[in-house]
Structure 1
């Protein structure tokens, strides 16, 4: 079984009605500590498209989680989003100033 399939199985197991996205990510990371939040979201989408479960409530929970977290992946609290953005070079004091 591939890594995404393992994560998808875990996401399916922990997704339940009323579970907050942070709870789902935390529960998945207990079993897969190396998984990033982005990996967990991808696994949730994989579980939705895999179609191994016919439980409509489970699909609803996975869909809700995946959609809500998709927008926040890459945000500053995500591991992949922690890289600093390049800053603009400081203006040199010798550079000519714009005339008004």
Structure 2
């Protein structure tokens, strides 16, 4: 079993009603301490795909968590932590 499949299995097992995405991520990290948010998000999408036919409610909860964590990978990517370069200032006057 690949690491992604193991994470997906853990996400599917832990997904519950009223469980916030951050709480689910923390619970998954207890079992997979080296997993990044990006890996957990991918595992959640895999779990959702695998559970879609058998348990629509669980698939919906996993999908919500995956969407909520999808754009929240800044702490996992060192390049995204760099200070952005400001745009040059435009001079007022004629165009």
C-alpha change, 1:67 and 1:85, in structure 2 (3 Å) is: same
> In the TM superposition, what is the alpha-carbon distance from 1:53 to its structure 2 partner?
5.8
> In the TM superposition, what is the alpha-carbon distance from 1:27 to its structure 2 partner?
0.4
Question: Could you list the runs of 5+ residues in structure 2 that have no partner in the other structure?
Answer: 86-95
Larger Rg: 1
Alignment of 1:75-94 (within 5 A): 78-81=75-78, 84-85=81-82
Equivalence for 2:15: 15
More helix by share: 2
The count of aligned residue pairs is: 87
Equivalence for 1:93: none
- The two structures, once aligned, show a CA RMSD in angstroms of 2.4
What SS class does the counterpart of residue 61 from structure 1 fall into? Answer: helix
C-alpha change, 1:25 and 1:69, in structure 2 (3 Å) is: same
| TM-score normalised by length of structure 2 | 0.77
**Residue 69 of structure 2 is aligned to residue 69 of structure 1:** yes
